[in-house]
Amino acid sequence: MQDKRVVISRHVKFDETYFPSLLPSLSSTKTLNPILPIPTNTLYSPTKPVGEVTDENDSCSECEEEFHGAMEEKPQRRIKIIGPRHPTLIRGDVSEENILPYQRRAHQTVESSLIPNNYQQAIKSKDSDKWEEAISRELDNMEKLKVWTIRDRTPEDHPITCTWVFKIKSDDEKRVIEHKASTRSRGWITCRLSLPLAESFHQMDVKSAFLNAPLNENICLAAPEGVNIPATKVLHLNKAIYGLKQAPLSWYNHLATWLVSVEEIQQKFDMKDLGKANLLLGIKILHSKAGFSLLQEHYIKNIAVNFGITQLAPTNTPLKPGLQLMKASEEEIESFQKLGFNYRSIIGALNYISTNTRPDITFAISHLSQFLERPSLKHWLASLQVLCYLYHTKEKTLNYYNKGKCKIISYADADWGNSLIDRRSVGGYTLFLNHHLISWRMKKQQTISHSTTEAEYKSLSDASKEVLWFQQLLQEIKIEVPGNIPTLYNNNKCAINLAHSNINHNGFKTKHMDIKFHFIWDLIKNQKLELFYVSTHLMAADFLTKAVWKTILLRSKSFINLY
């Protein structure tokens, strides 16, 4: 102790009944009687069983002499190694490098301020004053908007229980804006549509939005914690609250009657103008004179840190080209379960990215999602490769520019017999407005195709339904597509001829096909859709049907303005 030496070891034995701070002062003349003798000359011996400790029945006098002798001479170790040295050298201080990947979330949770899971945790937390203020603010809003009415409970009533949900609202730089509390009963396509057409993109926030919507159904609620009413009373809901299945539709119907101009909305609702939209549902929006860009850099970085892949070498593609993963055996599944990795968690996080800003990983995520029920180590390693690819390309943006005519273009492709598990084909399509990617999808076909033509024809049918829906959406929001018929491209001439009725639909190779796949034939006949051939190296949906090489992936990313 005199030279302040500190000995650190991973393997020690703790006796919780021994408190050094409660020992008599070293200058005291009273007899020292330590509970746990600490030997200074006994080291770990391989001949002794692991975990063996020194006999605790040594005389107290020997312990006292040993203790005082240690203080007079050089400092001695106050621990005893009771097991072999751990194969991994681990520093004494806390370092993320020494934390297992599947435990990083727990480490971050301990270091960060915790968000309460319920009312009791909120009022007992270190930020209780902020949470109590948020609760009071929410209850005041409910009283102001007359969300409920207190009435007597009847035998026919079946009150819905409710809970408090707490959240810390932050900006795109992770700075805390406010603490929020709300009571709850237990689509990005249209946003991308507006980007090529908008001059500017602002974000408005309606305070307690759902609480403004009238509720036409007879629903009663048990009082949440913090609302004190007699046990014989219930809360009859006049307005929708978060968590009700009726709440989103009720709010939409109420908002639609006032959605005429910004001035009228601000007069009706308590709103805040947040200025230019910078962060929406974890997606960052970049503004420039040319247009807008979407990226999820911070979201990807957080996931990469959580799963511990930031030190891995970069990879050129989400999956190894030509990779075909198979179902795991029972032994592989049991071995993987012992590792404790959360396969569902990583696939869910990656899927959110693929559906919003990174279509280049869509095939990989769809392929890996087949093994959610019974994953193994090989599936886990493949998912880490996808995340590693994302992490090293996290700055890539999906770009939209204010230029070009209002024209709908789509590409449809298929890979025949792609799946080695069930031999079903994989189809995919991309949909563009003014050459800007609006929608994309990869789907394993429900039936086995007998030929490449059949697989491509099914993919054309799926793409044509998306094109028709998108055209109707533009008409609904009063965006005209002057004199332009939507165009669909495919790289299989036989499938194109079949869609144009240049091949007999009752022929030997096609008569077995379900009538639903001939939907595209009707669209072309009525001049609601044009279908043309495009060469494979210009196919903008090729990357959605299989794991492609780097050159094909880079070419596809240039087609969809992802760079």
Q: What is the pLDDT of residue 10?
A: 59
The share of the chain scoring above pLDDT 70, in percent, equals: 74
Reading the block at residue 248, the tokens are 């989103």
Does 403 or 441 have the greater pLDDT score? 441
Reading the block at residue 86, the tokens are 């751990």
Separation between Cα atoms, residue 457 and residue 450, nearest integer Å: 11
Q: What is the pLDDT of residue 197?
A: 79
Give tens-digit pLDDT for 170-226: 766 667 778 888 776 555 677 788 888 777 788 888 888 888 889 888 888 888 888
CA distances from 38 to 5, 17, 43, 255 (A): 17, 14, 11, 74
Give tens-digit pLDDT for 91-107: 444 444 444 444 444 44
pLDDT band at 443 (very low <50, low <70, confident <90, very high): very high
For the whole model, what pTM was predicted?
Answer: 0.68
Check pLDDT > 70 for residue 52: no
Check pLDDT > 70 for residue 67: no
CA-wise closest residue to 433 among 199, 202, 194: 194
Query: Is the distance from CB of 545 to CB of 426 less than 8 angstroms?
Result: yes
End-to-end, the C-alpha distance of the chain in Å comes to 60
What residues does each domain of the chain span?
A: 1-93, 119-274, 292-391, 404-559
Q: What is the pLDDT of residue 4?
A: 59
Query: Is the distance from CB of 466 to CB of 428 less than 8 angstroms?
Result: no
- Which residues share a beta bridge with 168? 179
404-559: what fold? Nucleotidyltransferase; domain 5 (3.30.420)
Q: What is the pLDDT of residue 470?
A: 93
Tell me how long the chain is: 563
Q: What is the pLDDT of residue 223?
A: 86
CA-wise closest residue to 483 among 404, 403, 431, 405: 405
Q: Is 447 exposed, middle or buried (0-12, 13-18, 19+ CB in 10 A)?
A: middle
CA distances from 116 to 165, 170, 180, 243, 382 (A): 8, 16, 11, 18, 35
Give tens-digit pLDDT for 223-245: 888 888 898 898 989 998 878 88
Check pLDDT > 70 for residue 157: yes
Does 156 or 88 have the greater pLDDT score? 156
Angle of helix 343-356 relative to helix 297-306, nearest 10 degrees, comes to 170
DSSP per-residue codes, 499-513:
HTT-S-TTSTTTTTS
Whole-number average pLDDT of the chain: 79
Separation between Cα atoms, residue 430 and residue 411, nearest integer Å: 5
Residue 172: partners with Cβ closer than 8 Å, 6 or more residues away: 278, 279, 284, 298
Separation between Cα atoms, residue 182 and residue 166, nearest integer Å: 7
Query: How many DSSP H helices and E strands does the chain contain?
Result: 16, 16
Does 78 or 547 have the greater pLDDT score? 547
Q: What is the pLDDT of residue 91?
A: 41
pLDDT band at 111 (very low <50, low <70, confident <90, very high): very low
Does 349 or 15 have the greater pLDDT score? 349
Reading the block at residue 436, the tokens are 């800007």
Give tens-digit pLDDT for 352-371: 999 999 999 999 999 999 99
pLDDT band at 47 (very low <50, low <70, confident <90, very high): very low
